[in-house]
Amino acid sequence: MGSPYFLSFRLSLYFQCYKYDYIYKKLYALTVFSCIFFKFGKRSFHTIQRVIPHFMAEEIRKAQLETLERKNAEALLGGGQDRIDAQHKKGKLTARERIELLLDEGSFEEIGKFVMHRSKDFGLDKQYYLGDGVVTGYGTINGRLVYIFSQDFTVLGGSLSETHAEKIVKIMELAMKNGAPVIGLNDSGGARIQEGVVSLGGYADIFYRNTLASGVIPQISAIMGPCAGGAVYSPAITDFIMMVEDTSYMFVTGPNVVKTVTHEEVTSEELGGASTHSTKSGVTHFSCANEVECINYIKKLLSYVPQNCEELPPALPYESTGSEIRDVLDTIVPENPNQPYDIREVIEGIIDGDSFFEVHKNFGENIVVGFARLGGRSIGIVGNQPAVLAGVLDINASTKAARFVRFCDSFNVPLLVLEDVPGFLPGTDQEWRGIITNGAKLLYAFCEATVPRITVITRKAYGGAYDVMNSKHIGADMNFAWPTAEIAVMGAQGAAEIIFKREIAAAEDPEAKLAEKVQEYKEKFATPYRAAHRGFIDEVIKPNETRAKLIKAFKMLENKAVTLPRKKHGNIPL
């Protein structure tokens, strides 16, 4: 036991294994056992010295793998099982469960799983969690690459720290470099107050990347829980926002601050819930009944849009089953020009099957926007809604449609406009709130759009609203009109009262004379043919042949190329 070889070996073994104490003890015991039962000489020493390193390496590898497995398990638990249970009791999924539902099975690859915050103030040096409250990575949806971040409310309330923000920024930059959509699943209490200004800097870093990515890759935000203060501005810059009823809310200042400053009593749901933002403010595009529906909406939305601004939207295989004539379109528009109808019936009569995916359904309801397929191709649809305010354009309708048009143009989605508009909504409320500049947003959006643009006038096209709704004069590629179309400065009644004012006043029967002049004006101006004579309408078509005409027209325009004047950027009237 006192052999110099043995002492030398013990010393060598110690220095090789001091980092792995439990492994050293096993090796030491093995060595002592060998020396007791075998005569320890020079030859035995060299034999053991050759065998032991192999055994030691295997034990170290095993220990390393066990450490990795332990850390992976720790990361998967987020803030711990108790907090996961609390999340479930609120009717909410965890960050990882949401990702699992959204992405194709087995496709998620996590990035930054073991990242931890670097702060030591206010007790944070005792609160370290792997991942630091956000799960980031990439995967596929229906086989198409997407990047994703999902905030974990079980870890410090999902609060945003410096490293939390760095993880999100990394994902966004990878998405831009590789030309793929980025999806944010937001569930956060806001900035991590203990970190002070660095957490605010983290928000700004994200906002900056949101802005750089705008118009380059699709950006989708799903609000799965609280989203307050600075946290709201990142979703606001993205292309689409989805909220979950009863469990998610967005506001710059919460109910307590509102009460302190303005003395208003308001709940979180009333102030910034899904219903509020989908109907009153228009902040959110989709109000979802639950998280599963929200995730399904994300999948469906992505099926209509391309990966980036350089690609075309995905097209589905399409084979015509014969005639594209849709007789149902012949009877939708009433004979009485003042009788309403639902523009969605026209949309459904034109598009492929049940492919219409409406956006902003409950906001600015006097205009309808959404995605659909026509002949297998993805298109964006903007349609005046005669069933609400007669389809008139107001502030909400104008801003809603303008935003949708700009998204479609950014990502090469052709535009179909279904027009039945009597004008802009009059009144002091609209004028004082800025209908002029807000209406101009829609005009600007159509004017700058370079994607294929086709308009079908189903009935009314009056005044300045006729110009704004993708008229030939502002760059529409094809303009069709149904025989029921009335293209004029204003309605026949109002026009006749102005033009023939004196003649009507001098008549023995003013009412009969007015009716006569209204009919005269209709025959002369309130038809599609006057505009067709001037080339403002390319063709007057039967309603039932609209689908066939549109399929051919969009096919003809698929290689459209337009070069805009060189400039840094335009100055849309905000």
What is the CA angle 76-79-82, rounded to 5?
A: 105
Catalytic residue check, 465:
yes
Catalytic residue check, 133:
no
Residue 559 has φ and ψ, to the nearest 5°, of: -105, 20
Residues 79, 230, 364, 391: which is the catalytic one? 230
Q: Where in 252-393 does DSSP place strands (E)?
A: 286-288, 357-359, 367-374, 377-384
Question: CA-CA distances (angstroms) from residue 403 to 355, 369, 478?
Answer: 21, 10, 22
Retrieve residue 312's tokens.
């075309």
- State the Cα–Cα distance between residues 357 and 301, nearest whole angstrom: 8
Residues 191, 222, 397, 465: which is the catalytic one? 465
Catalytic residue check, 464:
yes
What does the buried/exposed string (b/e) look like for 394-429 if buried means 16 or more CB atoms within 10 Å of the residue's CB?
Answer: bbbbbbbbbbbbbbbbbbbbbbbbbbbbbbbbeeee
Residues 184, 229, 370, 383: which is the catalytic one? 229
- State the Cα–Cα distance between residues 186 and 236, nearest whole angstrom: 12
CB 267 within 8 A of CB 237: no
Residues 196, 254, 282, 464: which is the catalytic one? 464
Catalytic residue check, 139:
no
- The string of DSSP codes covering 123-174 is GGGG---TTTTEEEEEEEETTEEEEEEEE-TTTGGG-B-HHHHHHHHHHHHH
CB 287 within 8 A of CB 275: yes
- State the Cα–Cα distance between residues 27 and 56, nearest whole angstrom: 8
Q: What is the 3-class SS of 251-276, one letter each residue? A: ECCCHHHHHHHHCCCCCHHHHHEHHH
Residue 472, helix vs strand vs coil? helix
Question: CA-CA distances (angstroms) from residue 36 to 6, 28, 39, 67, 181?
Answer: 12, 12, 7, 34, 67
Catalytic residue set? 229-230, 464-465
